[in-house]
Copies of this chain bind each other. A is one copy, B any other.
Amino acid sequence: MPSTQLSFSNREAHRAWLATQGALPAGFRVGTARFDFIPREAPKPAKMNLTLIALEEPTADFAAVFTRNAFPGAPVLIGRHRLNEARLGAVIVNNKVSNVCAPGGVEASERIAAETARLLGFFPNQVLPSSTGVIGWGLPVEAMLQALPQAVGALAGGSILPAAEGIVTTDLYPKVRRAAVGRGSIVGIAKGAGMIEPNLATMLVYLFTDVTIPRAELRAMLSRTVETSFNTISIDSDTSTSDTVALFSSQRVPHSDFAEFERALQTVCRDLAEDVVRNGEGIRHVIRVRVQRAPDFNLARALGKTIVNAPLFKCAVAGNDPNVGRLVQAIGKYVGAHAPRTDLSRLRLQLGGIEIFSNQVFQLNPEKEADLAAHLRSAELYSSAPPKDGVFSPPVDYPRHERCVEIEVDLGSGDASATVLGGDLTHEYVSENADYRS
């Protein structure tokens, strides 16, 4: 569940709300730079943002989790080593090129980190490099080195918003969430928007707090929190090679109630996870699946994911068509292939609070059909209109509301539960991804 139920009538209202969310905790500064370059592999002009988030002093209290994709990006390989460093002082993020399996990729990221550190007066291993964008291309190192002084020169406290705007690729709007903890706060930013089915981490998420929490506790809390936030979402079942969630404390605000901090961390992470889905590529409906009374958490989460990843059901939702047969198909596909001993005899399904399946048969009639279609329409973020040139693009770049297509799966055979978020499969998704690089 989101901690809020927001709605926005226009882009300006959303941007104003983001500004209130974006107040930087004490001890952090943000600077960005933007420049043009020509990729080696496909010589067409491209643009890159550099986003630098620096602590005033390197901190020992940081945590990070990374993708489990077997082809991790060079920054992920470096980041895993950075976890052993005594202190980190900055993150330098680029978009447009993810630096995955590119020849000389690790050396390239280390050069960027080292030059960032030199400009900040830190040691090279105190800077975490991070990249997102096209897989297969190499970093334009020289152009990045030239742009770095501009990002360092722009460093300022006050707001995280320039960083939230800098790290995006196909995102329609920046994502910022915060929670207060005692006299301090946690603020987080996230980058979506495709290749999202995180496996122990999601795309790029950076979390900052001025609350003093020791490294060991910080890392344990982040691991637990990721499991029930970013690891319960899927936009398209694809798992990025760059997934990173990093958390830094500037140790400015003493606070002894660790449980309160963890609750606040969960709030920020769950809100950001829902933001990532709502702003997922081409998403017109967010689908929330609550699986209840399941034998264990892993099965509950897997059933939720099989529903939000079933292409035929996703297309039906896109069309406001309550084709619930496809929903039952998805559950049966997963159980038949992966958990054939699961007892489904007490399965009860609801869509929008309306019972559609129980006692082993569908519970459908024309009145319910109309109510189900109305529920789907109420959760739509915008209507899709046939475009003149054949390229569908979303007409809004802010979240109009936080309503979801609500699905309840009650297995009636256990006490575990999981909530999974996903979205529909639309013409906008296909248009966006049929030629994203050009």
Contact = CB atoms under 8 A, between A and B. Distances in A.
Copies in the complex: 2
Contact of A238 (B42, B195, B241, B330): B330
Interface string A424-438: 011101111111111
A101 B362 contact: yes
A102 B69 CA distance: 41
Interface string A79-105: 000000000000000000010111101
A389 interface: yes
Q: Which of A40, A194, A315, A316 has the most CB of B within 10 A?
A: A315
A239 B334 CA distance: 9
Nearest to A240: B329
A336 interface: yes
A70 B427 contact: no
A123 B425 CA distance: 47
Contacts of A403: none
B68 A337 contact: yes
A136 B362 contact: yes
Nearest to A281: B312
A319 interface: yes
Contacts of A316: 433-436
A385 interface: yes
A437 B252 CA distance: 59
Interface in A17-75: 40-43, 67-72
Interface in A235-252: 236-241
Contacts of A329: 69, 71, 100, 135, 195, 238-241
Nearest to A362: B136
Contacts of A241: 328-329, 332
A239 B385 CA distance: 31
B332 A69 contact: yes
Interface stretch (A5-13, A139-147, A202-210, A364-372): A364-372
A101 B323 contact: no
B361 A70 contact: no
A134 interface: yes
Interface string A388-420: 111100000000000000000000000000000
Given A336-B199, A433-B311, A71 B344 contact: yes
A44 to B, nearest CB: 10
A67 B134 CA distance: 39
A324 interface: yes
A323 B437 contact: yes
Interface string A328-342: 111111111100101
28 contacts: A40-B365, A42-B369, A70-B332, A70-B334, A71-B328, A71-B329, A71-B332, A72-B332, A100-B328, A100-B329, A101-B357, A101-B362, A102-B361, A102-B362, A134-B325, A135-B325, A194-B312, A238-B329, A241-B328, A241-B332, A315-B430, A319-B435, A321-B437, A323-B437, A385-B390, A386-B388, A427-B427, A427-B431
Given A41-B364, A199-B333, A238-B310, 13 more contacts: A67-B336, A68-B337, A69-B332, A70-B333, A70-B335, A102-B362, A134-B325, A311-B433, A312-B433, A315-B429, A321-B438, A323-B437, A427-B427
